[in-house]
Amino acid sequence: MRPLRSLTRSQPMVSRPIRSRLMPHSATAVDFAQLIKVYRATPEGERMYSPAEVVTTERVPCVGNPDHDRICTSIVERSNLSLRMGTRRFTRLTNAFSKKWENHWAAVALWFAFYNFCRVHKSLRVTPAMEAGIADHVWSVRELLEAA
């Protein structure tokens, strides 16, 4: 199996590339589905940043055997929000962007490692790595950097 980096470098990560390039390698270990939302047209006079009204939704199983009741966007949306708030590289109109793909990749990997091993989450009262049984204590940043 090729490294994930070689699969994603030249192609944006949208639904079709995920299914066609990543899923054949992990089809036996992944349950993947899409929640497709159809929005109502924005009426005249609405502000650009106003949320659109969702008219209907459709749950489409793509790979594996996903639980139909758990197909939602809230988990990935929360993950995206945490990533955007934790690394300014994903916010609009910022000067904290990466000019090189390697720098961007390293910054995102470092943030995810910190998020999972060093940061105690209020709802869990431990780190996600401790909750998953991967770590037995909260890592310091020094410990994280030494492990890298």
- How do the domains of the chain map onto residue ranges? 73-148
Give residue for tokens 């030494």.
Answer: 146
**DSSP three-state, residue 70:** helix
pLDDT for the residue numbered 1: 41
Range of lowest pLDDT (15-19, 37-41, 72-76, 102-106): 15-19
Least confident span in 91-95, 127-131, 138-142: 91-95
Note the pLDDT of residue 10.
37
CA angle, 49 then 52 then 55, to 5°: 175
Strand ranges (E), 51-101? 54-63
CA nearest neighbour of 54 among 74, 39, 71: 39
Q: What is the pLDDT of residue 127?
A: 94
Is pLDDT larger for residue 138 or for residue 74? 138
Confidence of residue 20 (pLDDT cuts 50, 70, 90): low
Sequence-distant (≥ 6) Cβ neighbours of residue 66 within 8 angstroms: 31, 32, 33
Decide if pLDDT at 41 tops 50. yes
pLDDT at 45: 62
Share of the chain above pLDDT 70, in %: 76
With beta carbons less than 8 A apart as the criterion, state whether 75 and 47 touch: no
The answer to whether the CB of 113 falls within 8 A of the CB of 148 is yes
pTM value is: 0.61
What's the pLDDT at 131? 93
Please check the confidence at residue 26 and state whether its pLDDT lies above 60.
Answer: no
